[in-house]
Amino acid sequence: MTEDLTMDHLVPAGIALAAGLLGAFLLRMLLRWLGRHAERTRWGGDDVIVDALRTVVPWAAVAGGVAGAAAALPLTRTVQHNVNQVLTVLLIFVVTVSAARVIAGLVRTVTTSRSGVAGSATIFVNITRVLVLAIGFLVVLQTLGISIAPMLTALGVGGLAVALALQDTLANLFAGIHILASKTVQPGDYIRLSSGEEGYVEDINWRQTTVRALSNNLVVIPNGQLAKTNMTNFMRPEQQLTILVQAGVAYDSDLEHVERITIEVVAEVMTEITGAVPEHEPAVRFHTFGDSRIGFTVILGVGEFSDQYRIKHEFIKRLHKRYREEGIRIPAPARTVALQQGTVVIPQQRAGEDTVPSA
C-alpha cells in the first residue's frame, strides 16, 4: 500500500463493488426477460445468443465492479497490475466459453434448419467449439505475457507427427467435412451403399456416419469408406420418388379395360393412403408378351422412401380385389412337359420344386 487505508478509500470501493453486483443482478433479470421473448420466435439462434449473454454479461458487470473497487483502494502498482490481470483472464475465459457456446449453437441451428431434421452435423459443431476455445487460450497466454510463438512452432512440428500417426482418423475427418460441404449426404437422408447397408442418416461426426436402418438398428460407417463407396441417396435431388410395380394379365383380357381399372385403383391409392402423392398422374405401361401373360408396369408416386412398402401393400391388395370383381384373370405361370404318353401341363413352381410324374 502506498498510503493508509481510510474510509475515503473504502466507501468508493464498496460503492463500485455494490454497483457491479447490482448491475449483474439487473442485467440477469433483463436477459431472462429477453429469453422469454426469444422463445416465442421461430428462429432458434436468438435463444442461443441470449442464453450465452446471460452468462457473460453478469460476470462482466461483477468484474467491472471489482476493477473499480481495486482502483479506489490505495494498492501498490504490482498488486494493482496482478488484480487487473486476474480480472482480465477471468473475463477472457467467460467470453471465450460463451462465444464457443454461441457459435456452436448457431452452427447447430443452421445445419438443423438446412437438413430439416432434428439431428445435427456434430462434426462442424465440435470443430467450431475447439477452434474458439483454442483462440481464447492463446489470447489468455498473450495477456499473461507468455510468448505463443514457440508454442505455435512446437504445435506445428508435433502436428506433423500426429498427422502421420493418425492418418486414418484424419482421413475420416476430412472425408466427413467433404461429404457435408458437398451436400451429397445430410442428416435425415435415406441412403443405400453398394455394399448393401441402407437407412436414414442420423449424424455425421468427426470420424463416422451413423445410419439408422428400417429395423431401427444403427449402422456405423467410417467417413472414409462412405466417401469411397458408390451410394444412392433417395432424398436428393428431391424427396418424392416413383416406384414400379410389375404385374400381368391373361392373353384373353381386354387391355383397354385392364388399363382403365388399374388407373382407377392407382388414383384411389394415391388419394387415400398416407405417404402417397395425390397429384401423381396414374401410369400403366404394357411391355412384354410373356409365356403365359402380358406383362405391364404400374408407376406409383410416394412422398418418401419408406412409404413405398405401405403403398405397395395397399395397391396390390386393392388391385387383386378389383380384378376379381371385374373378372380379369391373372394367370399362374405354366410349363409344358413332353412325356412318352403325351403332353402334360404342369403349373410353374418355385425353383427346385418342379416334379415330373412317372409314365
Instruction: Render pLDDT for 139-170 as a digit per residue (tens, 0 to 9).
Output: 877 777 777 777 667 667 666 666 666 667 77
- Give the rounded percent of residues in the chain with a pLDDT score beyond 90: 15
Quick one: which of 324, 215, 183 has its CA closest to 261? Answer: 324
Are the C-beta atoms of residues 201 and 210 closer than 8 Å to each other?
A: yes
First vs last Cα of the chain: how many Å apart? 123
Quick one: which of 202, 201, 207 has its CA closest to 172? Answer: 207
Are the C-beta atoms of residues 204 and 121 closer than 8 Å to each other?
A: yes
pTM > 0.85: yes or no? no
Is residue 129 predicted with pLDDT exceeding 60? yes
The mean of the pLDDT values for the chain is 77
How many CB atoms within 10 Å of residue 112? Answer: 17
Mean per-residue pLDDT, 333-359: 51
| Residue 60 CB partners (closer than 8 Å, separation 6+) | 91, 94, 95
> Residue-wise over 162-197: b if at least 16 C-beta within 10 A, else e?
eeeeeeebbbbbebbbebbeeeebbbbbbbbbeeeb
Angle at 294 between CA 288 and CA 300, to 5 degrees: 80
Range of 82-86, 171-175, 318-322, 328-332 with top mean pLDDT: 318-322
